[in-house]
Structure 1
Amino acid sequence: MQMHGTEVRQKALTLLRNGSKNADVARALNVPLGTVSYWRHMDRAKRGECPGAHNPKCPRCDGRELDEAAYAYLLGLYLGDGHIIQYSGHRVPSLMITCANDWPGLMDDCEKAMRTVFPDNSVCRVRRTGCQNVKIYSKHLWCMFPQHGPGKKHERLIELEPWQEDIVEEHPWEFIRGLIHSDGCRITNWTTRLVGGERKRYEYPRYFFTNKSQDILGLFADTLDIVGVEWTMTRRGKDPFNITVARRDSVALMDAHIGPKY
């Protein structure tokens, strides 16, 4: 990882305080946009310009009120496409959810959920090829996402704590929606049939959820059971790999609460 000295950081802060945009400063100084956003946030916090920046409250540590529906959605996104990391030299870890540029609505929903769950912290977007990382810094990320750990998710145990299970049971559709928005999709299959000597085309929608973690697949399946959605599991070799929702009634139920990405 490239480290940037005090001189570069001070130049960036001077430009930011004079009204320059984060992206313009990042280009001018050849510094990652996420780094500039972090510098700006920390500078504003030191000057008391961020509400609650000196001591942001945590639902787990301080009993702050939590929007549980937004959290259930964000938890689903995290389990699919998110990770928590703490870079060397940073005192605060960051949560990043990777969102493809093809789904701008999903990106907006992700940012909205982050702002709702962490109202005292700043959210930024870091551009990457074909996608953007929606990113937030908070010292309470490990409190809110205890599934964090070393290594890849499919190589370690992933299970919800009792307080998370209560939230998912109360807001199952938001959790399902987060998982579908991360590692799922709604597609339209088609086939042809011979009817009265004429071959006709028939289309039928279905939902897929794909994840290498058997634990995350299990969480998705268990939550589908809660809302009454029928599903089937397909395997890659001996390992579970994909959950499909194809029955007409179940697809209609998913459409009413989830729908395609946008």
Structure 2
Amino acid sequence: MNFHGPELRQKALTLLRGGAKNADVARKLNVPAGTISYWKHMDRAKRGECPGAHRSFCPRCEGELDRSAYAYLLGLYLGDGHIIQNKAMRTPSLSITCADSWPGLMDLCESSMRAVFPDNSVCRVRRKGCREVKMYSKHLWCLFPQHGPGKKHERPIVLANWQQEIVDAHPWEFIRGLIHSDGCRITNWTTRLVSGERKRYEYPRYFFSNKSDDIRKLFSDTLNKVGVQWTTLARGSDPFNISVARRASVALMDAHVGPKY
């Protein structure tokens, strides 16, 4: 049996990493092709390049979480997101539904997912009139502890302490995510008598609509922290809508959120 020293093995690995074929390295160094293949496999395994399952790292517990991107993604999730894992799925998936009318929002959603989960792939699934921006991760339960059975408005939605700290540090990103999911900027109009003549008057306004009392409170509490004045508008007997209409508050929203695109 021939024993090959570490110098020869390192020389082979240098050639292989440079793109040389196994057979060429075997002939050049007079080493069996099977040995070259084994060295290459062990080298790739040590560097995490082998195909198959790899240990994934939680971006919050074991990495550097992009807190700004997470605040925005959290807002999107609370509005139009859901996490599922059925028996056929080894890994849970996060989906954010984005209307085809707002391609810019899809791009922002995808970029925020990639920023929060830099080691995961993100895809877009075509649906009628919309796309699901989607990714898979074993750490979704950790990043989104609000997940649970049933609809969001039928169960409590409370931020964990670490989530609240992120929202407090990045309130506008959180507000922006909520508006981009369940909100809008519109132009309202009314009429006024001016010198005896009735004239049309237009003004911009932001709306946020969500059936969850808890999610609306998260939104309104965050508006209070950034100095935005708001009111509640009822849809029938249900106060599902939060309105921002005062000029100074709309100007703040325009500076940090803006219309969908």
Query: What corresponds to 2:58 in structure 1?
Result: 58
SS of 1:160's partner is: coil
Query: What corresponds to 2:246 in structure 1?
Result: 247
What displacement does 1:199 show?
3.1
| Separation in structure 2 between the aligned mates of residue 128 and residue 255 of structure 1, nearest angstrom | 30
Aligned length: 214
- Measured against aligned partners, the alpha-carbon deviations of 1:156-215 in whole angstroms (never above 9, x if no partner) come to 000000000000000000000000000000000112223224332211001000000000
| Separation in structure 1 between the aligned mates of residue 50 and residue 205 of structure 2, nearest angstrom | 50
Task: Determine if the alignment matches structure 1 residue 70 to structure 2 residue 58.
Answer: no
- Measured against aligned partners, the alpha-carbon deviations of 1:212-234 in whole angstroms (never above 9, x if no partner) come to 00000000000001100000012
What displacement does 1:237 show?
5.0
**TM alignment of 1:67-146, pairs within 5 A:** 67-146=66-145
| Separation in structure 2 between the aligned mates of residue 216 and residue 110 of structure 1, nearest angstrom | 19
Counterpart AA for 1:121: N
SS of 1:56's partner is: coil
Query: What corresponds to 2:148 in structure 1?
Result: 149
| Separation in structure 2 between the aligned mates of residue 100 and residue 213 of structure 1, nearest angstrom | 21
Counterpart AA for 2:117: F
Going from structure 1 to structure 2, the CA distance change for 1:207 and 1:113 (only over 3 Å counts) comes to same
**TM alignment of 1:216-227, pairs within 5 A:** 216-227=215-226
> Which ranges in structure 1 are unaligned for 5 or more consecutive residues?
1-45
Counterpart AA for 2:146: Q
What displacement does 1:60 show?
3.4
| Separation in structure 2 between the aligned mates of residue 167 and residue 105 of structure 1, nearest angstrom | 24
Counterpart AA for 1:180: I
SS of 1:96's partner is: strand
SS of 1:159's partner is: coil
Counterpart AA for 1:255: D
| Separation in structure 2 between the aligned mates of residue 61 and residue 195 of structure 1, nearest angstrom | 62
What displacement does 1:49 show?
6.2
SS of 2:165's partner is: helix
| Separation in structure 1 between the aligned mates of residue 115 and residue 97 of structure 2, nearest angstrom | 18
Going from structure 1 to structure 2, the CA distance change for 1:241 and 1:105 (only over 3 Å counts) comes to same
Query: What corresponds to 1:261 in structure 2?
Result: 260
What displacement does 1:90 show?
1.3
| Separation in structure 2 between the aligned mates of residue 180 and residue 96 of structure 1, nearest angstrom | 17
- Measured against aligned partners, the alpha-carbon deviations of 1:81-112 in whole angstroms (never above 9, x if no partner) come to 00000132211000000000000000000000
> Which ranges in structure 2 are unaligned for 5 or more consecutive residues?
1-47
| Separation in structure 2 between the aligned mates of residue 261 and residue 60 of structure 1, nearest angstrom | 29
SS of 2:234's partner is: strand
Counterpart AA for 2:59: P
**TM alignment of 1:143-182, pairs within 5 A:** 143-182=142-181
Going from structure 1 to structure 2, the CA distance change for 1:118 and 1:151 (only over 3 Å counts) comes to same
**TM alignment of 1:21-32, pairs within 5 A:** none
| Separation in structure 1 between the aligned mates of residue 207 and residue 107 of structure 2, nearest angstrom | 22
Counterpart AA for 1:66: L
| Separation in structure 2 between the aligned mates of residue 54 and residue 177 of structure 1, nearest angstrom | 34
User: If the length of structure 2 is used for normalisation, what is the TM-score?
Assistant: 0.79
SS of 2:158's partner is: coil
Is 188-197 or 147-156 further displaced after alignment?
Answer: 188-197
SS of 1:119's partner is: coil
- Measured against aligned partners, the alpha-carbon deviations of 1:134-170 in whole angstroms (never above 9, x if no partner) come to 0000000010000000000000000000000000000
Higher Cα Rg: structure 1 or 2? 2
**TM alignment of 1:168-207, pairs within 5 A:** 168-207=167-206
